[in-house]
């Protein structure tokens, strides 16, 4: 679905300092979310599945050693859950960013025509 131009409202000026600051905050938040989720994935996939496998193998899950389970299933399930978490967090971030841009686009914030 495409949005048609709204004749009564000017487009968002990407050179406006408020808009630039909003975009910077959006990307910093996005990168922070990705970094945290990648660290979780590395800890589960590499840490639990490889580095800590011997210790975790002393415990059993469903009849299998826990270290083996993490290496075979846990890291994959964690990855799928992290994709879901990323999608949910980014939907929330996108909505917040959209609301912020709409506030900046409001008639009271309109700097007027550019020369």
**Structural domains counted in the chain:** 1
Q: Within a domain: residue 6?
A: no
Q: Within a domain: residue 37?
A: yes
Triad 14, 17, 22: Cα angle to 5°: 75
pTM: 0.74
Q: Within a domain: residue 2?
A: no
Q: Within a domain: residue 25?
A: yes
Distance CA 50, CA 46 (A): 5
Q: Within a domain: residue 45?
A: yes
Q: Within a domain: residue 13?
A: no
User: pLDDT 10s per residue in the chain (115 long)?
Assistant: 445 556 666 777 778 888 899 999 999 999 999 999 999 998 888 888 888 888 888 988 888 888 888 788 888 899 999 999 999 999 999 999 999 988 888 766 655 554 4
Domain of residue 91, residue span:
19-107
Q: Within a domain: residue 4?
A: no
Query: Please, which residues bridge with residue 61 across strands?
Result: 64
13 in Cβ contact with 28 (< 8 Å): no
């Amino acid at each position: 679905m495409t949005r048609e131009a709204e004749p009564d409202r000017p487009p968002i000026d990407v050179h406006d300092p408020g808009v630039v600051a909003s975009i910077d905050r959006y990307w910093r938040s996005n990168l922070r979310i990705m970094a945290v989720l990648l660290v979780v994935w590395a800890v589960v996939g590499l840490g639990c599945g490889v580095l800590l496998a011997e210790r975790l193998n002393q415990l059993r899950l469903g009849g299998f050693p826990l270290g083996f389970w993490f290496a075979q299933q846990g890291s994959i399930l964690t990855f799928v859950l992290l994709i879901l978490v990323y999608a949910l967090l980014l939907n929330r971030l996108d909505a917040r960013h959209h609301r912020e841009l709409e506030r900046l686009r409001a008639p009271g914030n309109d700097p007027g025509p550019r020369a």
